[in-house]
A and B are shown apart, each in its own frame.
Chain A
Amino acid sequence: MKTVYLDNNATSQVAPEVLEAMLPYFHDLYGNPSSMHSFGGQVAQKLREAREQAAALIGASPDEIIFTSCGTESDNAAIRSALATHPERRHIVTSRVEHPAIKVLCAHLASQGYRVTELPVDKNGLLDMEQLVESLTPDTAVVSLMWANNETGVIFPVEKAAELAHERGILFHTDAVQSAGKIPIDMKRNKIDMISISGHKLHAPKGIGILYVRKGTKFSPFLIGGHQERGRRGGTENTPSIIGLGKACELAARHLERENTEVKRLRDKLESELLARIPQSRVNGDLRQRLPNTTNISFEYVEGEGILLLMNEYDICASSGSACTSGSLQPSHVLRAMGVPFTMAHGSIRFSLSIYTTEEEIDFVIEKLPPIIERLRNMSPYWTSVAKACAAV
């Protein structure tokens, strides 16, 4: 049976064109781009091209692009640089729904004496901009808010938030790991100082990322060593992956429209059909301010891990915000921050599509999921006659 992969916010397949672009640089063209000989030099030329491709996706200039090992490294480098370049400031503003790369980092910094404000979100996962303004103080070193949420796909107005921070002389960073390649990003039209991007979410391989640092923004390197990345990130370049990421960025720019039409159409079909066929289900997160590829649906009275494992029997891949799948005992911090009731949060499933998702795959899930939910509900002590009656109305 063919795998139906609807977990692209976790990771995505390497595009065939990306793999093809990378392959020569493992074996034939393995030179070090820093070398004096042309065997290495030709790789340096290829890296320049990749940097241009990456810059083009987000409307940046190539020297604003730093290649890193992953989104988490980019996040760490950005926040630590902001603190290092403003040593007199001891306050960080972020949100309650950030990815662990920011959330856990900020908790760690809090344990080292920094003050951290986590902005709340409303029941649709949206920020209150007034609260953002109130949180900003002369002591604030950096504001870090994700562009789009990995679990719900909800989009924050980061461009507006960056302006509010800038008006007060505060640096602004955004984790754009989920939004890059899915919605338009143009750094010429906003004031964001730093953004983090991860390769493997946009059909490049794992282990490669980007940190964008706006020209003129003070930067203190996280990884100290050689002169690579103009001294802003030491370490020999991961040449095949950088070249692959360049290609992936070029493809992403080309596919952006399809992402927002065709992928969105399939996502909407999946969502509306599941809601229609499965009673007591609902979407988590704002329906409009949302990535085109993501839907997070809660099925009341069942637990997410069971749903995932039964879908797994059909080779359908998705993920869940339930406690059992998170490894902790509490459901997803994102859903809790949104005040999603426990009865709903435990049974939440995230489907995230890509341009490789087909209509047949979506139809297959629409056919297979309703009986799975029914089967688990029939096993659940909460699926009582009362609940069934409510569902029937």
Chain B
Amino acid sequence: MWEYTDKVREHFLNPRNVGEVDNPDGVAEVGSIACGDALKLSFKLDENNRIKEAKFKTFGCASAIASSSALTEMIKGMTLEEAKKVTNQDIAAFLGGLPQEKMHCSVMGKEALEKAIENYQGAPAKEPGAQIVCECFGVTDREIERAVRENNLTSVEEVTNYTKAGGGCGNCHDAIQQIIDRVRAEAKPAVRPKLTTLQKIKMIEEALEREIRPSLKQDGGDIELIDVVGNRVLVAVRGACASCKASDITLKQFVEVKLRDLVSPDLIIEEVAP
């Protein structure tokens, strides 16, 4: 059984805005019955060019129906510029999260929204030059690139969870991996600029505050930044961590991994006596 949040369940059992808008301004249909899910989205604007009405019809599982329902609720009252900024993560977040394997339902919502807006604005429906990569589910390289970029995906399996690409015969796995490698290679320099020591300390402190200390505190532990010397991050452990035999592992596998991810891949964490 899938682990759905109460919000997903609630939107599945009581979906909002089912149907089709009369005389819609924008309409789009994505997915197909062969793929196992499909969504038809239509919307109407008010006199201020805000979305007055949005409706959906969905063929698919509970999370596809819930994602569609969530999407229509979210975009009501938005201008098209605002609606364009809605991402698949926003849809998933609105529902309190989706299982990894179901993230493609939120991506389907995002795609339908984008296409419906294009339909209204008269923009080309298909991105120019896009090539089908996954024949089974008709997913293009552009779609995969975007999912990798926006969701920071690193593996073929993740790409399948988000876009369905690669979920059929598996012939395109190499091609998907190449796209992942390409996008990640592009992304690196932008995400990881050379840091001054001061910037580094600030970012480490922020990462500790936001991402690391709250988790440690849940287990009664804590951590304090003592100094940063080059790439060596000197810390002292506090609370339950100080007497915990596994604190080395926590430092290496959690704190260091997090800091490398959030600040700089060269960081080395070291424990010092307080």
A-facing residues in B137-179 (Cβ within 8 Å): 137, 160, 164, 167-168
Complex Cα distance, B136 from A141, in Å, reads 35
A-facing residues in B162-210 (Cβ within 8 Å): 164, 167-168
**Given known contacts A329-B137, A342-B33, A381 and B40 CB-to-CB distance under 8 angstroms:** yes
- In this assembly, does B260 line the interface, its C-beta being within 8 Å of a C-beta of chain A? no
Give per-residue flags for B122-145: 1 if the beta carbon is below 8 A from chain A beta carbons, else 0: 000000000000001100000000
Complex Cα distance, B36 from A306, in Å, reads 12
Q: Tally of A-B residue pairs with Cβ under 8 A?
A: 74
Give per-residue flags for A286-312: 1 if the beta carbon is below 8 A from chain B beta carbons, else 0: 000000000000000111011001100
- In this assembly, does A330 line the interface, its C-beta being within 8 Å of a C-beta of chain B? yes
**A382 and B62 within 8 A (CB):** no
**A381 and B36 within 8 A (CB):** no
**Given known contacts A303-B59, A313-B13, A381 and B65 CB-to-CB distance under 8 angstroms:** no
- In this assembly, does B18 line the interface, its C-beta being within 8 Å of a C-beta of chain A? yes
Instruction: Kindly specify which of A37-45, A118-126, A265-273, A320-328 makes contact with the partner chain.
Output: A320-328
B-facing residues in A247-305 (Cβ within 8 Å): 301-303, 305
**A380 and B59 within 8 A (CB):** yes
**B101 and A381 within 8 A (CB):** no
Of the listed residues A323, A343, A381, the one surrounded by the most CB atoms of chain B closer than 10 A to its CB is: A381
Complex Cα distance, B168 from A323, in Å, reads 11
- In this assembly, does B24 line the interface, its C-beta being within 8 Å of a C-beta of chain A? no
Complex Cα distance, B101 from A328, in Å, reads 8
- In this assembly, does A224 line the interface, its C-beta being within 8 Å of a C-beta of chain B? no
Which residues from chain B contact A382 at a C-beta distance below 8 Å? 33, 38, 59
User: Which of A309, A346, A379 is B15 in contact with, Cβ under 8 Å?
Assistant: A379
- In this assembly, does A240 line the interface, its C-beta being within 8 Å of a C-beta of chain B? no
- In this assembly, does A331 line the interface, its C-beta being within 8 Å of a C-beta of chain B? yes
Task: Considering the complex, give the chain B residue whose CB is closest to the CB of A309.
Answer: B62
Of the listed residues A301, A305, A331, the one surrounded by the most CB atoms of chain B closer than 10 A to its CB is: A305
Complex Cα distance, B35 from A109, in Å, reads 30
Closest Cβ of chain B to A137, distance in Å, is: 27
- In this assembly, does B34 line the interface, its C-beta being within 8 Å of a C-beta of chain A? yes
Closest Cβ of chain A to B147, distance in Å, is: 15
Complex Cα distance, B61 from A302, in Å, reads 9
- In this assembly, does A131 line the interface, its C-beta being within 8 Å of a C-beta of chain B? no
Which residues from chain B contact A330 at a C-beta distance below 8 Å? 36, 136, 167-168
**A346 and B57 within 8 A (CB):** no
Complex Cα distance, B156 from A329, in Å, reads 14
Task: Considering the complex, give the chain A residue whose CB is closest to the CB of B169.
Answer: A330
**Given known contacts A313-B13, A381-B29, A329 and B61 CB-to-CB distance under 8 angstroms:** no
Which residues from chain A contact B12 at a C-beta distance below 8 Å? 306, 309
**B137 and A346 within 8 A (CB):** no
Interface size on A, residues (CB 8 A): 25
**A324 and B61 within 8 A (CB):** yes
Which residues from chain A contact B113 at a C-beta distance below 8 Å? none
Which residues from chain B contact A329 at a C-beta distance below 8 Å? 35-36, 137, 160, 164, 167-168
**Given known contacts A329-B167, A380-B57, A381-B38, A305 and B62 CB-to-CB distance under 8 angstroms:** yes
Give per-residue flags for B10-30: 1 if the beta carbon is below 8 A from chain A beta carbons, else 0: 001101001000000000010
- In this assembly, does A378 line the interface, its C-beta being within 8 Å of a C-beta of chain B? yes
Complex Cα distance, B167 from A324, in Å, reads 12
B-facing residues in A319-364 (Cβ within 8 Å): 322-325, 327-331, 342-343, 346
**A301 and B62 within 8 A (CB):** no
**A346 and B33 within 8 A (CB):** yes
**B36 and A302 within 8 A (CB):** no
Complex Cα distance, B18 from A380, in Å, reads 9
Which residues from chain A contact B36 at a C-beta distance below 8 Å? 303, 322-324, 329-331, 342, 346
Complex Cα distance, B59 from A327, in Å, reads 17
**B62 and A381 within 8 A (CB):** no
- In this assembly, does B221 line the interface, its C-beta being within 8 Å of a C-beta of chain A? no
Closest Cβ of chain B to A2, distance in Å, is: 20
Give per-residue flags for B85-127: 1 if the beta carbon is below 8 A from chain A beta carbons, else 0: 0000000000000000100000000000000000000000000
The 9 closest A-B pairs by CB, nearest first: A329-B167, A324-B61, A305-B61, A381-B40, A381-B57, A323-B36, A342-B34, A380-B59, A309-B62
Show 16 A/B contacts (Cβ-Cβ < 8 Å), sorted by A: A301-B33, A301-B59, A303-B36, A306-B12, A306-B62, A309-B9, A310-B13, A322-B36, A322-B61, A325-B61, A327-B101, A329-B168, A330-B167, A346-B36, A379-B15, A380-B59
Chain B residues at the A interface, C-beta cutoff of 8 Å: 2, 9, 12-13, 15, 18, 29, 33-40, 57-65, 101, 136-137, 160, 164, 167-168
Given contacts A329-B164, A342-B34, A380-B57, 6 further A-B contacts (CB under 8 A): A303-B37, A303-B60, A324-B63, A327-B101, A329-B167, A346-B59
